[in-house]
Structure 1
Amino acid sequence: MVTGAAGSYRGSLMEVHHGFLAIWSGRGLTRLITEFLKSSVGRLRPDFLARCRWDPAVQACTGNADTILNGRRSFPSGHSSAIFASMTFMSLLFAGKTAAWCYGVSPPHASFRASKLARFSLTLLPFFCAAWVAISRVEDYRHHKEDVIVGSLIGISVSTVCYLMFWPNPFNPRHFTQQRLGRPRLLYTDDDNASRDANFELTRHEDELESV
């Protein structure tokens, strides 16, 4: 996983922890919504007749029961929602690490992040991958175009919400200071106070009582 590799490289257990929480919560919630809609709507897939193997003599489908049942679960596209949930997280993570979507931030010189075009292109690569998978579902006659569109929107929306729960907004310039560049959100700390010096030391309870 990208987030695990990045956190391990920087020696940050918090980045690994927040990264896995964000992506798996997004994937899990996306799967839950998609499966609920599939079972509730029951839309026929474009290749349902091939799955059904209709026999005019017996006036019934003669295909495999599981295949026929799966043929009634077209809306929304599970592949589209799952791939967009994963790729949206990666795109947001790249944008949060490079400030590609925050044009008011001056990137460091003499590095890959100094090129605005390179940073922006990097954040778009996951979306191209997700779009290719989603389009292939229509080309293979597994889904209607509406199934793919709605599934993609579910993956993008849920992944974005889950990302912002654990990572700062990639459009906000104040999250790209030298101290906070690419750092995850401190869930249990006020963000306005998170940048302050957090040095402290433990004392005995008796010392605290004497100082009161």
Structure 2
Amino acid sequence: FFWRCFPDGKELYDKVTGKVICHGDRSLLKDGHKSFPSGHTSWSFAGLGFLALYLSGKIKAFNQRGHVAKLCIVFLPLLFASLIGISRVDDYWHHWQDV
């Protein structure tokens, strides 16, 4: 990120606020932000993945009397988490490798 924001390697500071001023090319900066890992996808897989495990334990999806309907209920949160990840790639906010 440093080389995208400061292509010449020198930091510029605002004289009033003292904050760093990024003087890199806007399109390169936007493209650099796209390569960051997706927080939406990470949180959705963490939360909905836990929900899938919780539901599988509560409805006993993997016992001897397991039914397809139970498995559909368990995999539904994982499907929603996958759709969130796909939406992050589809709207060009992230590269597919980072999702």
The TM-score with structure 1 as length reference comes to 0.32
**Aligned CA distance change for structure 1 residues 146 and 83 (closer, same or farther; 3 Å):** same
Is residue 103 of structure 1 aligned with residue 63 of structure 2? Answer: yes
Count of residues paired in the alignment: 77
Instruction: Mark the runs of 5 or more structure 1 residues left unpaired by the alignment.
Output: 1-41, 43-58, 107-114, 149-212
**Aligned CA distance change for structure 1 residues 60 and 88 (closer, same or farther; 3 Å):** closer
The structure 1 residue matched to 2:89, chosen from 133, 138, 146, is: 138
Residue of structure 2 equivalent to 1:183: none
Residue of structure 2 equivalent to 1:155: none
Deviations 1:96-132 (A, max 9, x none): 10111x233x4xxxxxxxx611111100110111111
Larger Rg: 1
Q: d(CA) in 2 for partners of 1:116 and 1:133?
A: 27
Is residue 126 of structure 1 aligned with residue 90 of structure 2? Answer: no
Deviations 1:133-162 (A, max 9, x none): 1001111000011101xxxxxxxxxxxxxx
The TM-score with structure 2 as length reference comes to 0.64
Where relative contact order (Cα < 8 A, 6+ residues apart) is larger, the structure is: 2
Question: Percent of aligned positions with the same letter in both sequences?
Answer: 38
Matched position secondary structure for 1:142: coil
Is residue 83 of structure 1 aligned with residue 47 of structure 2? Answer: no
Q: Superposition RMSD on alpha carbons, in Å?
A: 2.7
